[in-house]
Amino acid sequence: MPRSTAAEWMDDAAATQPDFEAALRDLARINRMSLARRPVLRWLDALVAATGRRHLSILDVGAGGGDLLVAVAAWGARRGVSLSLVGLDRSPWAASHAAAQGVPARWITQDLFALDPEERFDVVLCSLFAHHLTDAELVRFLRWMEARADLGWLISDLHRHKLPWGFVWLGVRALRMHPMVVHDSTISIARGFTRADWRRLLGEAGLRARIRWTFPFRWLVSRA
Protein backbone atom coordinates (compact mmCIF):
# COMPACT_ATOMS: atom_id res chain seq x y z
CA MET A 1 0.00 0.00 0.00
CA PRO A 2 1.99 3.03 -1.21
CA ARG A 3 1.79 6.28 0.71
CA SER A 4 -0.98 8.48 -0.71
CA THR A 5 -0.48 12.09 -1.78
CA ALA A 6 -4.23 12.83 -1.96
CA ALA A 7 -5.36 16.10 -0.39
CA GLU A 8 -7.45 16.28 2.77
CA TRP A 9 -10.34 18.73 2.92
CA MET A 10 -9.25 20.01 6.33
CA ASP A 11 -6.05 21.30 4.74
CA ASP A 12 -7.99 23.41 2.24
CA ALA A 13 -7.77 27.10 3.09
CA ALA A 14 -11.30 27.48 1.70
CA ALA A 15 -12.79 25.25 4.41
CA THR A 16 -15.55 27.13 6.25
CA GLN A 17 -15.61 27.64 9.99
CA PRO A 18 -18.82 25.59 10.58
CA ASP A 19 -17.46 22.63 8.59
CA PHE A 20 -14.03 22.82 10.21
CA GLU A 21 -15.42 23.00 13.74
CA ALA A 22 -17.88 20.15 13.10
CA ALA A 23 -14.97 18.06 11.84
CA LEU A 24 -12.92 18.94 14.95
CA ARG A 25 -15.74 17.74 17.19
CA ASP A 26 -15.95 14.43 15.34
CA LEU A 27 -12.17 14.03 15.39
CA ALA A 28 -12.21 14.53 19.15
CA ARG A 29 -14.76 11.69 19.33
CA ILE A 30 -12.50 9.46 17.24
CA ASN A 31 -9.52 10.33 19.43
CA ARG A 32 -11.47 9.34 22.56
CA MET A 33 -12.69 6.08 21.06
CA SER A 34 -9.27 5.14 19.67
CA LEU A 35 -7.42 6.01 22.90
CA ALA A 36 -5.21 8.42 20.94
CA ARG A 37 -4.10 10.35 24.01
CA ARG A 38 -3.03 7.36 26.12
CA PRO A 39 0.41 6.71 24.52
CA VAL A 40 1.22 10.43 24.66
CA LEU A 41 0.44 10.61 28.37
CA ARG A 42 2.43 7.44 29.05
CA TRP A 43 5.41 8.95 27.25
CA LEU A 44 5.11 12.09 29.40
CA ASP A 45 4.96 9.88 32.50
CA ALA A 46 8.23 8.23 31.47
CA LEU A 47 9.85 11.59 30.71
CA VAL A 48 8.96 13.02 34.11
CA ALA A 49 10.13 9.86 35.86
CA ALA A 50 13.46 10.00 34.03
CA THR A 51 14.11 13.71 34.49
CA GLY A 52 12.42 14.46 37.81
CA ARG A 53 10.99 17.63 36.30
CA ARG A 54 7.99 19.19 38.06
CA HIS A 55 7.40 21.87 35.43
CA LEU A 56 7.26 21.47 31.66
CA SER A 57 6.69 23.80 28.77
CA ILE A 58 4.91 21.82 26.04
CA LEU A 59 4.14 22.69 22.43
CA ASP A 60 1.47 20.71 20.57
CA VAL A 61 2.02 21.02 16.80
CA GLY A 62 -1.07 20.67 14.62
CA ALA A 63 -3.14 21.08 17.76
CA GLY A 64 -6.53 21.16 15.99
CA GLY A 65 -9.27 21.77 18.53
CA GLY A 66 -6.95 21.32 21.51
CA ASP A 67 -8.37 18.07 22.90
CA LEU A 68 -4.88 16.64 23.44
CA LEU A 69 -3.86 19.74 25.39
CA VAL A 70 -6.93 19.36 27.61
CA ALA A 71 -5.85 15.78 28.34
CA VAL A 72 -2.25 16.88 29.01
CA ALA A 73 -3.48 19.59 31.40
CA ALA A 74 -5.51 16.99 33.32
CA TRP A 75 -2.47 14.68 33.37
CA GLY A 76 -0.33 17.46 34.85
CA ALA A 77 -2.90 18.15 37.56
CA ARG A 78 -2.99 14.46 38.50
CA ARG A 79 0.79 14.11 38.55
CA GLY A 80 1.53 17.39 40.31
CA VAL A 81 3.43 18.71 37.29
CA SER A 82 2.91 22.40 36.48
CA LEU A 83 2.61 23.10 32.77
CA SER A 84 2.97 25.91 30.28
CA LEU A 85 0.96 24.72 27.30
CA VAL A 86 1.04 26.08 23.76
CA GLY A 87 -1.03 24.99 20.76
CA LEU A 88 0.17 25.63 17.22
CA ASP A 89 -2.15 25.33 14.22
CA ARG A 90 -2.28 27.36 11.04
CA SER A 91 -6.08 27.38 10.87
CA PRO A 92 -7.78 30.38 12.51
CA TRP A 93 -10.81 28.16 13.07
CA ALA A 94 -8.73 25.90 15.30
CA ALA A 95 -7.81 28.84 17.54
CA SER A 96 -11.40 30.04 17.91
CA HIS A 97 -12.68 26.52 18.57
CA ALA A 98 -10.03 25.92 21.23
CA ALA A 99 -10.87 29.22 22.90
CA ALA A 100 -14.57 28.38 22.94
CA GLN A 101 -13.76 25.01 24.52
CA GLY A 102 -11.66 26.65 27.23
CA VAL A 103 -8.44 24.88 26.26
CA PRO A 104 -5.87 25.99 28.89
CA ALA A 105 -3.12 26.97 26.47
CA ARG A 106 -1.56 29.88 24.67
CA TRP A 107 -2.39 29.64 20.99
CA ILE A 108 -0.23 30.37 17.94
CA THR A 109 -1.92 30.60 14.54
CA GLN A 110 0.67 30.23 11.78
CA ASP A 111 2.58 27.76 9.69
CA LEU A 112 4.92 25.76 11.92
CA PHE A 113 7.99 26.61 9.83
CA ALA A 114 7.27 30.33 10.30
CA LEU A 115 7.44 30.09 14.10
CA ASP A 116 9.80 32.56 15.77
CA PRO A 117 13.19 30.80 16.06
CA GLU A 118 13.46 32.06 19.63
CA GLU A 119 10.47 29.93 20.67
CA ARG A 120 11.79 26.83 22.43
CA PHE A 121 10.08 24.29 24.68
CA ASP A 122 10.94 21.46 27.02
CA VAL A 123 8.75 19.12 24.99
CA VAL A 124 7.27 19.16 21.49
CA LEU A 125 4.31 16.88 20.77
CA CYS A 126 2.79 16.02 17.42
CA SER A 127 -0.22 13.72 17.54
CA LEU A 128 -1.97 12.67 14.32
CA PHE A 129 -0.61 15.58 12.30
CA ALA A 130 2.60 14.34 10.68
CA HIS A 131 0.73 12.45 7.94
CA HIS A 132 -0.45 15.81 6.57
CA LEU A 133 3.16 16.53 5.53
CA THR A 134 4.98 15.39 2.42
CA ASP A 135 8.11 13.29 2.90
CA ALA A 136 10.33 16.32 2.31
CA GLU A 137 8.32 18.44 4.76
CA LEU A 138 8.44 15.68 7.34
CA VAL A 139 12.24 15.42 7.12
CA ARG A 140 12.38 19.18 7.67
CA PHE A 141 9.91 18.87 10.54
CA LEU A 142 11.95 16.19 12.28
CA ARG A 143 14.96 18.51 12.27
CA TRP A 144 12.69 21.36 13.41
CA MET A 145 11.49 19.34 16.41
CA GLU A 146 15.03 18.37 17.33
CA ALA A 147 16.03 22.04 17.32
CA ARG A 148 12.99 23.20 19.35
CA ALA A 149 12.74 20.60 22.11
CA ASP A 150 15.15 20.81 25.04
CA LEU A 151 14.10 17.56 26.76
CA GLY A 152 12.48 15.55 24.01
CA TRP A 153 9.84 15.20 21.35
CA LEU A 154 7.16 12.71 20.38
CA ILE A 155 5.28 12.00 17.16
CA SER A 156 2.24 9.75 17.37
CA ASP A 157 0.77 8.95 13.98
CA LEU A 158 -1.06 6.45 11.83
CA HIS A 159 0.19 3.09 10.63
CA ARG A 160 -0.63 2.73 6.94
CA HIS A 161 -2.37 -0.63 6.60
CA LYS A 162 -5.46 -2.06 4.90
CA LEU A 163 -7.04 -3.27 8.16
CA PRO A 164 -7.45 0.14 9.87
CA TRP A 165 -8.35 1.66 6.48
CA GLY A 166 -11.32 -0.70 6.16
CA PHE A 167 -12.36 -0.37 9.80
CA VAL A 168 -12.32 3.43 9.63
CA TRP A 169 -14.14 3.49 6.28
CA LEU A 170 -17.00 1.61 7.89
CA GLY A 171 -16.88 3.30 11.28
CA VAL A 172 -17.12 6.94 10.19
CA ARG A 173 -20.15 6.09 8.06
CA ALA A 174 -21.84 4.01 10.74
CA LEU A 175 -21.37 6.85 13.22
CA ARG A 176 -22.70 9.41 10.68
CA MET A 177 -19.70 11.67 11.01
CA HIS A 178 -19.28 14.96 9.20
CA PRO A 179 -18.59 14.67 5.44
CA MET A 180 -15.16 16.24 5.91
CA VAL A 181 -14.21 13.49 8.37
CA VAL A 182 -15.70 10.79 6.13
CA HIS A 183 -13.60 12.08 3.22
CA ASP A 184 -10.38 12.69 5.14
CA SER A 185 -10.31 9.71 7.49
CA THR A 186 -9.25 7.00 5.06
CA ILE A 187 -6.98 9.43 3.20
CA SER A 188 -5.25 10.08 6.52
CA ILE A 189 -4.54 6.38 6.93
CA ALA A 190 -3.36 6.10 3.32
CA ARG A 191 -1.03 9.03 4.02
CA GLY A 192 0.29 7.30 7.15
CA PHE A 193 3.54 5.43 7.67
CA THR A 194 5.24 2.09 8.04
CA ARG A 195 8.30 1.31 10.14
CA ALA A 196 10.39 1.35 6.96
CA ASP A 197 9.10 4.86 6.19
CA TRP A 198 10.15 6.12 9.60
CA ARG A 199 13.60 4.56 9.36
CA ARG A 200 14.14 6.14 5.94
CA LEU A 201 12.82 9.58 6.95
CA LEU A 202 14.86 9.68 10.16
CA GLY A 203 17.92 8.69 8.15
CA GLU A 204 17.31 11.51 5.70
CA ALA A 205 16.94 13.91 8.64
CA GLY A 206 20.20 12.65 10.13
CA LEU A 207 18.50 11.75 13.41
CA ARG A 208 18.25 8.75 15.68
CA ALA A 209 14.97 8.16 17.48
CA ARG A 210 12.96 5.37 19.04
CA ILE A 211 10.28 3.85 16.79
CA ARG A 212 7.56 1.85 18.52
CA TRP A 213 4.23 0.41 17.35
CA THR A 214 1.26 0.80 19.67
CA PHE A 215 -2.41 -0.11 19.66
CA PRO A 216 -4.48 0.71 17.66
CA PHE A 217 -2.27 0.86 14.55
CA ARG A 218 -0.11 3.82 15.58
CA TRP A 219 3.58 4.57 15.42
CA LEU A 220 5.32 6.41 18.24
CA VAL A 221 8.54 8.09 17.17
CA SER A 222 10.39 9.82 19.97
CA ARG A 223 13.62 11.26 21.25
CA ALA A 224 14.16 11.96 24.93
- Reply yes or no on whether the pLDDT at 30 is more than 90: no
Segment 208-221 mean pLDDT: 96
**pLDDT-derived band at 15, boundaries 50, 70, 90:** confident
pLDDT score of 7: 93
pLDDT score of 44: 98
Tell me the pLDDT tens digit for each residue of 59-101. Answer: 999 999 999 999 999 999 999 999 999 999 999 999 999 999 9
Segment 25-47 mean pLDDT: 91
- Reply yes or no on whether the pLDDT at 33 is more than 90: no
Segment 196-210 mean pLDDT: 98
Superfamily of domain 35-159+194-223: Vaccinia Virus protein VP39 (3.40.50.150)
- Mean predicted lDDT score pLDDT of the chain: 95
Q: Which long-range contacts (CB under 8 A, 24 or more apart) does 95-102 make?
A: 96/17, 96/21, 97/20, 97/21, 97/24, 97/65, 97/66, 98/63, 98/65, 98/66, 98/69, 101/65, 101/66, 101/67, 101/70
| pTM of structure | 0.94
- Reply yes or no on whether the pLDDT at 51 is more than 90: yes
**Domain boundaries of the chain, sorted by first residue:** 35-159+194-223
d(CA 174, CA 29): 14
